[in-house]
Structure 1
């Protein structure tokens, strides 16, 4: 039986299997990135941060422990329901569509771990940039942490299998119509599951076009979580800081 909806992110992110597949993400690396980023932006304790597309809140929780006032938002009701168990004064989670401005302004808005470029409608990417602009205080900064599509496509593994617990995930990756596609198939308790991830293959030039249309200024571009300079041929990430 196929388990998929029209908006892949609305179905896939709302399942426990997404978190099973990606459970081995590097938490230490994420913490070091947050330390580097908040120091670079000169954020002070009690400054406010919006964690946009926060998932289950791993970055939000770490930022809160570092002394920031954090709001995490995500479209996934399941993820937010899970994250809400960690709520306390200064740490808040809410279901929210990142295409729409959140009704509050922040010292920084973070969109992390390639949580951009999911939409079928090209206009929604620009709407998201405009929403981030509206969410920023006058001296605030927006941050988008995206993959470097040039390197990702060059190093793409077309097919692989990952066994996690009792589940064998069969993964297929390819580029089609300007999107990086990952098909995910597995079986559990005799039932077949199928999900698809689709991320638009956005380059630095594409983001510059969004920023120009949204009337925001790109201030810094980095290529990894240590904030080294971006090189489209070798950098693993495309980290954009704008205001």
Structure 2
């Protein structure tokens, strides 16, 4: 779940805002996760777009796009891409890449868009971080409302069963000279990650929190939202989903 954007708190400045105005908007989030495997992510998008057989110039929404690296790649594949994210800092950075086929906007995924898309991608565990459970259903309904009649949506989530079975309780990661002390645990139906570090003489503490949604949970939500689940994959090569072994839970729906 290292890729997720979650609720966070900084005890440094007594912020009480949710994740999108603290941890994900800090430079430290991007420092900690800068070693992500983007080549693997690009292969995933190659596989996805090929599987979906998206037409040339299809309108694609990258929902929770961060700084837009995947949006940029999707536009290079020939699609008309909108990258949307709640983080104003990330969108400001991403917007430097704007062109005729690529644009970015600040947007809350709980709200439908005033345009329709042929494909909506919600990638790398960018779901399930809301304080209110009903917001997960609201988000699915907003995705449904933002699809064309023949459009497809993809949610790429962690496989909760595999994550919990392989959870590393404590870890230290050193990136750019910063020593990140990380603790992971499961509580109240959520997976937590506590992150502590020091930089320039100041101490920081952030908490990531994502709801431990299983395939059954998603099916229940999708039924309620009137969504048709078409296919389920277990990794970025689009191999079959196995409840205990698969690294990912990738759901294709319309």
Give the CA deviation at 1:45: 2.0
Matches within 5 A, 1:60-71: 60-71=71-82
1:160-206 residue CA offsets vs partner (Å, 9 max, x unmatched)? 00001120000000001000000111000110011111000000000
Residue 93 in 1 paired to residue 104 in 2?
Answer: yes
Q: Do residues 135 (structure 1) and 141 (structure 2) align?
A: no
Structure 1 residue ranges without an equivalent (≥5): none
- Secondary structure of 1:54's aligned partner: coil
Query: Residue deviations 1:134-165, cap 9 Å, x none?
Result: 01000001100000000000000000000011
The gaps in structure 2 that reach 5 residues or longer are 1-10
Equivalent residue runs for 1:69-108 within 5 Å: 69-108=80-119
How far the C-alpha of 1:2 sits from its partner, in A, is: 2.4
CA distance in 2, matches of 1:149, 1:5: 28
Corresponding position of 2:159: 148
Q: Which runs of 4+ in 1 moved over 3 A?
A: 3-6
Q: Which residue of 1 aligns with 2:184?
A: 173
1:181-200 alignment runs, 5 A limit: 181-200=192-211
2:18 counterpart (7, 29, 48):
7
Could you say what secondary structure the match of 1:49 adopts? Answer: strand
Residues of 1 paired with 2:55 and 2:64: CA distance?
23
- Residue 22 of structure 2 aligns to a residue whose secondary structure is helix
1:54·1:60 contact (CA, 8 Å) conserved in 2?
yes
Q: How does 1:203-242 map to 2 (within 5 A)?
A: 203-242=214-253
Q: After TM superposition, give the deviation of residue 43 of structure 1 in Å.
A: 0.6
Aligned length: 243
Distance 1:139 1:16 in 2: 39
- Scaled by the length of structure 2, the TM-score of the pair is 0.94
Whether 1:109 aligns to 2:85 is no
- Report if the CA contact (8 A) 1:211-1:218 is conserved: yes
